[in-house]
Structure 1
Amino acid sequence: MAILKKNRMLFIVVLVAIPLLTALTCIGIGRYSLTIGESFQVLLHALLFGKESVDAQSYSVIIGIRLPRIILALLCGAGLAVSGASFQALFTNPLATPDTLGVAAGASFGAVVALLAADHLIWVQAVALLMGLAAVFLTYSISKIRGKSTIIMMVLSGMVISSMFQAFVSLIKYMADPEDKLPAITYWLMGSLSSVTYKSLLIGTPFILIGIILVSALRWKLNVLSLSEDEAHSMGVNVKHLRLLIIVAATMITASAISMCGQVGWIGLLIPHIARMLFGSNNRFVIPASISFGAVFMLVIDTVARSATAAEIPVSILTATVGAPFFIFLLKRTGGAWT
């Protein structure tokens, strides 16, 4: 890993290659299985020569069903991981997650309201996204005292807002029809990528990509947040503006990811710790590593979810099943130190 840190180009190539190779492998896994070479051939022919150049069954399975799901897994895994990494740097707290400011609870509330009212995928996605953004705006507004907002006030406000929206979700579940709406709401909350379409990707992808690009562009400045405000100002960094930009970027990513695939835990907590264990605490390396590892983790988890059993396993069950033991291993390995 030290070699990667010294060679910037090699570092970038490896982090880009790992998710791409994983995607090529995972897209061929399932009841209709293909090798990496066959998957690449189908994708290449479909892209260059169109639908007619590919076997109809291969086109339907690979391009129509699995490809949008692969894209969503890469985007959501990368997005949730980089959101967790940026929040941990922002709050200088190793336990910070993408839901620290209540965005996941707000997005979940928006989704269950939409499921109760209409049950249309695009409608669910749009309302979840808006409510996630609204929850963080509410958190930020509450945290202000005399026009100023501190880290501790934002964290406490986030806890309150998150608890409030979780209570609203429970209320909606209590009111929902147990034969019709309640199963759909419960399944959505457990997380799944099965309902993704190219149309839904068009709505959510821009928010995730803009957020990832923004955090990546600011990753050098994230290191300054570990210093006092006076020291940061002396280095020419406007801490208030930097915090606001990071919060907006991470919120856009998290709200969009949750609006498309439901509640998926552990990625934003676990992946940044793996990146720090390998590359140290410098966010110049932690942020891009989190993007790459998060994409791979989510992709592998979703592939297992859709192919391990006849009935699809909810993603959040697998992320918790894998994430919790691995996090225990990290705690034992590092002694709880955040380095």
Structure 2
Amino acid sequence: MIGRFKISISILGTILSDIITGDTLSPDFVSQKLVFLWIRLPRCIMAVLVGMCLSVSGGVYQAMFRNPLVSPAVAMTISIARLISIKPIIVMVLAGMVVLSFFNALLMILKYFSDPYDELPSIVFWIMGSLTRVTWHDVFITLAVTSCGLLVFILLRFRLNILSLGDIQAKSLGINPFISRVILIVLSSFMVAMVVATCGQIAWLGLIIPHMARTLVGPKHETMIPVTALLGAIFMLAADVLARSMTTAEIPVGIITAITGAPIFCFLLYKNRGSGWL
């Protein structure tokens, strides 16, 4: 397996056989088993769950607000714009500046009063996004939240299709757009909050992955949601592998997603120019 602590395929097979059959593992492989079970495996599972959470939440936000540039980072700003009936683009800029400045100030206060030798490095590393300190406890909680969220999104897939057409069409079909959006926003925000609390800020997944899925299978959410979850899981897992293997010192995975996500999004902009999706 890829990483600074090498585990060959044959040793991995021996470890899996030991886990399945319950046989006693050779003392020579005990360290490899511990690394696999308590570091590599929970980290890989968490990468998959994080990719699914952020990607599907981004796709849901884009459908709700009928805006392909929406991601979990700006969804609340658009909600405020709709609430006070001001042009969303103006409020997105102004409210985004206000919210960003406010929380940056809180974050600077937190860093200022943190222990520079103990707490401050952890805060900085968390801001950059990392799966380094993931535990099985984090995996189980995120798995429960992700499973419930995906189940609800799949059950509400037809409502998402209708919401993407507009409020007038939704009301004419007997759907209350306000109630539907509240349910979807609360659930999506809870999923994103769980990921951020555990792994920090992971950029671009909620924006580019839904576009990739929409390009492959179209806008219907009965197929788009599963494909978005799959692509998000693959993208995040690949980013984590790169973060662990590019250099001898591990790179925060949030940096990898930002570096790779920005050019991918520019490519999607260029490819879909004039197609009506912007």
Q: TM-score, structure 2 length as denominator?
A: 0.86
Distance of aligned partners of 1:323 and 1:53 in 2 relative to their CA distance in 1, 3 Å threshold: same
Q: 8 Å contact 1:189–1:262 — kept in the other structure?
A: yes
Q: 1:59–1:151: structure 2 CA closer, same or farther, 3 Å change rule?
A: farther
Question: Residues of 1 paired with 2:129 and 2:41: CA distance?
Answer: 18
Deviation at residue 296 of structure 1 after TM alignment: 0.6
Q: Give the deviation of 1:98 after TM superposition.
A: 1.5
Aligned counterpart in structure 1 of residue 24 of structure 2, from 48, 52, 57: 52
After superposition, the C-alpha distances for 1:193-222 in whole angstroms (9 at most, x for unaligned) are 010111222333322221222122212211
Counterpart pick for 1:186 among 124, 130, 133: 124
| Mean CA deviation greater in 265-274 or 234-243 | 234-243
Q: Aligned residues, how many? A: 271
Q: Does 1:33 align with 2:39?
A: no
Deviation at 1:186, TM superposition (A): 0.8
Look up the match of 1:245. Answer: 183
Q: Is the 8 A contact 2:125 2:252 kept in 1?
A: yes
Residue 66 (structure 2) pairs with residue 82 (structure 1): no
8 A contact 2:157–2:222 mirrored in 1: yes
- What are the equivalent positions in structure 2 for 1:157-168 lying under 5 Å apart? 159=96, 160-168=98-106
Equivalents in 1 of 2:112, 2:68: separation in Å?
35
Q: Is the 8 A contact 2:55 2:209 kept in 1?
A: yes
Match 1:61 to one of 30, 35, 38: 35
Q: Which piece of structure 1 moves more, 274-283 or 51-60?
A: 51-60
| Residues 174 and 216 of structure 1, relative CA distance in 2, 3 Å threshold | same
Whole-Å separation in 1 of the counterparts to 2:87 and 2:45: 34
Task: Summarize the Cα distance change of 1:42–1:312 in structure 2 as closer, same or farther, 3 Å threshold.
Answer: same
* Cross-structure match for 2:200: 262
Task: Measure, in 1, the Cα distance between the counterparts of 2:42 and 2:107.
Answer: 28
Which aligned pairs between 1:144-183 and structure 2 lie closer than 5 A? Answer: 144=83, 152=88, 156=92, 159=96, 160-183=98-121
Distance change (3 Å), C-alpha of 1:60 and 1:284 = same
Closer, same or farther: CA 38–278 of 1 in aligned 2, 3 Å: farther
- For residue 207 of structure 1, what is the amino acid of its counterpart? V
Q: Which residue pairs with 2:70 in the alignment?
A: 96
Is the 8 Å Cα contact of residues 83 and 250 (structure 1) preserved in structure 2?
yes
Quote how far apart the aligned CAs of 1:60 are.
Answer: 1.2
Q: Kindly indicate whether the alpha-carbon contact (under 8 Å) linking 1:84 and 1:96 is maintained by their aligned counterparts in 2.
A: yes
Hey, what's the Cα distance between the residues in 2 that align with 1:144 and 1:293? 33
CA contact (8 A) 2:18 2:24 kept: no
1:195 alignment partner in structure 2: 133
Instruction: Write the deviation string for residues 229-266 of structure 1: whole angstroms up to 9, x where unpaired.
Output: 23212212221121011101111110011111111101
State the TM-score, normalized to the length of structure 1: 0.71
Aligned positions of 1:200-219 closer than 5 A? 200-219=138-157
Partner SS, residue 72 of structure 2: coil
Name the aligned partner's letter for residue 53 of structure 2. Answer: G
Q: Judge conservation of contact 1:91–1:151 (CA < 8 Å) in 2.
A: no
Map of 1:42 onto structure 2: 15
Which of 227, 230, 234 is the equivalent residue of 1:292?
230
Structure 2 residue runs without a partner (length 5+): none
Q: Deviations over 1:252-310 (max 9, x none)?
A: 11001111111110111111111111112222222111100000110011111112221
Q: Distance in 2 between matches of 1:164 and 1:283?
A: 35
* 1:317 aligned onto 2:255: yes
For residues 142 and 221 of structure 1, do their structure 2 counterparts lie closer, same or farther at Cα, with a shift above 3 Å needed?
closer
Residues 249 and 185 of structure 1, relative CA distance in 2, 3 Å threshold: same
Partner of 1:234: 172
Deviates more, 1:237-246 or 1:56-65: 56-65
Displacement over 6 Å in runs of 4+: 139-143
Deviation at 1:329, TM superposition (A): 1.4
The CA deviation string for residues 103-124 of structure 1, in whole angstroms up to 9 with x for no partner, is xxxxxxxxxxxxxxxxxxxxxx
Change (3 A) 1:73 1:234: same
CA offset at residue 315 of structure 1? 0.9
Give a deviation string over 1:151-202, Cα, whole Å, max 9, x none.
949x759734454223311232233343433222111110110101112223
Alpha-carbon separation, structure 2, partners of 1:162 and 1:86: 23
Do the aligned partners of 1:43 and 1:63 also contact (CA within 8 Å) in 2? Answer: no
Q: In structure 2, the residue corresponding to 1:52 is in which secondary structure?
A: coil
